[in-house]
Structure 1
């Protein structure tokens, strides 16, 4: 079978590595080797797939359905493996092999075409938030020692990229200043140490067999829960922007999610602002002006 990367993956990696990506060139052969080494039977490549990995639906030698995931180093697959191993299937997809094959994960098969996003909005937010709560555990390691990136470290890289971006629009610059100031204030206090999903949203929660909903595709980070919840606030941003009551709905969503997960509302608002502006500025930088417009308009409501 040909393991050609889906167009969505090619575009996303092209944005991250505009001068070319050797990993993409090696991907078909790497996939063939991973399948052969595990004696897997390939069903199909998942389409449209993710933006940072190749996902292949397979069956193990005993007929058990599974998912083979191949990701480049920049997607931090070893960090994903460590988080999934620590969660042990509680709230997240189950890791099916303990080996540390570089960039290759063998995972429990969920229902790849059924995410919590398929539910009505209010129900989707409720189910997604409940799933996220189960992931917020103490990170592995003694005395607070762990190998995961922290919220301070990750947002520090992002803040530096925001400062370096050539933004000429005065309105965008005002939002950047507000986002950077919010980050500084949020990081000023004692840090909270919880293992977080890192890139959580409704489409990252898939239907399962052993439990109704399970999270997939973490980019784990250690820090405060409000950071993790912030990405969920802007889910279905296109619908929010199109609605006359989008701004009011967003503010109610912040309040409702903060209360339901016992997160301080103002901290959730601050991280939602930072993450929306960071995503918007990055979209501008890689040539996605429509996405940038939506994200920055949303950020202006906060």
Structure 2
């Protein structure tokens, strides 16, 4: 089988690829070797798939359905492996092969085309929040994960640089950076977080109704993780005349349902929306940047 990367993956990785990166060119061969080594039977490449990895639906030699996932080093697949091993299937997809080649994960098969996002909005938020709560555990000793301070520190530098190049975003960037400084001064807890949690990252399963996939794990306070969920379906929020009020109600409802401080959730939602909007503008996605920065202005 020819392992052709989906267009969505090619486009997304192209936005972030460093000079000289040849991971996409080497991907078909790497996928062939991973399949042969494990004696897997390939069913299909998942399309449109994710933005940072190739996902292949396969069957093991004994017929067990599984997922083979290949990701470049900059997507931090080894951190994902470590987080999934620590969660051990509690609220998240299960590793079928704890130790394997770098950048290759063999995972439990879920229902890749059925995510929480397919549910009505209120139900989707409830199920997603319940799944997220199960992931918030103490990190392992000597954890190999970034902290929220480290990750947002890198992001802050990129935000400052963009504000200099595009002065129109500078006021929101300044507010977001000030919020980050205040939030990092006294974090209420340090938990292992999913890192990139949203409705589309929660898939239907057999062991449990819903399980999380695709973490970019980080250690820090729970409000940071929940912040990305607040802006889910942002395009729908922007289209509503009452979008700003709906967003504020969502912050309140999610904070109360997961025992997270409402102001801290609002602050991290603001920072993460501005960071994503600035990044979208930097890589040439002006429509996404406009939506995200308008959303951030409501906070």
**TM-score category (smaller protein):** over 0.9
Q: Partners of 1:140 and 1:190 in 2: how far apart? A: 19
Match of 1:69 in 2: 69
Q: Partners of 1:186 and 1:84 in 2: how far apart? A: 27
Match of 2:45 in 1: 45
Q: Partners of 2:284 and 2:99 in 1: how far apart? A: 39
Match of 2:2 in 1: 2
Q: Is this contact kept in 2: 1:78–1:100, CA < 8 A?
A: no
Tell me how far 1:193 sits from its aligned partner: 1.2
Q: Partners of 1:168 and 1:101 in 2: how far apart? A: 41
Match of 2:124 in 1: 124
Matches within 5 A, 1:140-155: 140-141=140-141, 145-155=142-152
Q: Is this contact kept in 1: 2:163–2:170, CA < 8 A?
A: no
Give the structure-1-normalised TM-score: 0.97
Tell me how far 1:21 sits from its aligned partner: 3.0
3-state SS in 1 of match to 2:189: coil
Match of 2:280 in 1: 283
Q: Go from structure 1 to structure 2 and tell me whether the alpha carbon gap of 1:189 and 1:12 turns closer, same or farther (over 3 Å shift).
A: same
Structure 2 residues not aligned, in runs of 5+: none
Match of 1:113 in 2: 113
Greater shift, 181-190 or 52-61, is seen at: 181-190
Q: Partners of 1:208 and 1:279 in 2: how far apart? A: 30
Match of 2:93 in 1: 93
Pair 1:102 & 2:102 matched: yes
Match of 2:207 in 1: 210
Tell me how far 1:189 sits from its aligned partner: 1.1
Matches within 5 A, 1:8-27: 8-17=8-17, 19=19, 21-27=21-27
Greater shift, 67-76 or 18-27, is seen at: 18-27
Tell me how far 1:301 sits from its aligned partner: 0.2
- Structure 1 runs, 4 residues or longer, greater than 2 Å off: 18-21, 166-171
Q: Is this contact kept in 2: 1:14–1:20, CA < 8 A?
A: no
Pair 1:292 & 2:289 matched: yes
Q: Is this contact kept in 1: 2:187–2:221, CA < 8 A?
A: no
Greater shift, 14-23 or 150-159, is seen at: 14-23
Q: Partners of 1:190 and 1:248 in 2: how far apart? A: 27
Which of 217, 228, 235 is the aligned partner of 1:231? 228
Match of 2:266 in 1: 269
Match of 2:182 in 1: 185
Pair 1:256 & 2:253 matched: yes
Pair 1:244 & 2:214 matched: no
Q: Partners of 1:18 and 1:294 in 2: how far apart? A: 27
Q: Is this contact kept in 2: 1:129–1:261, CA < 8 A?
A: yes
CA-to-aligned-CA distance 1:42-93 (integer Å, 9 cap, x gap) = 0000000000000000000010100000000000000000000000000000
Match of 2:35 in 1: 35
CA-to-aligned-CA distance 1:15-44 (integer Å, 9 cap, x gap) = 001645300011000000000000000000
Q: Partners of 2:56 and 2:17 in 1: how far apart? A: 23
Q: Is this contact kept in 1: 2:9–2:49, CA < 8 A?
A: yes
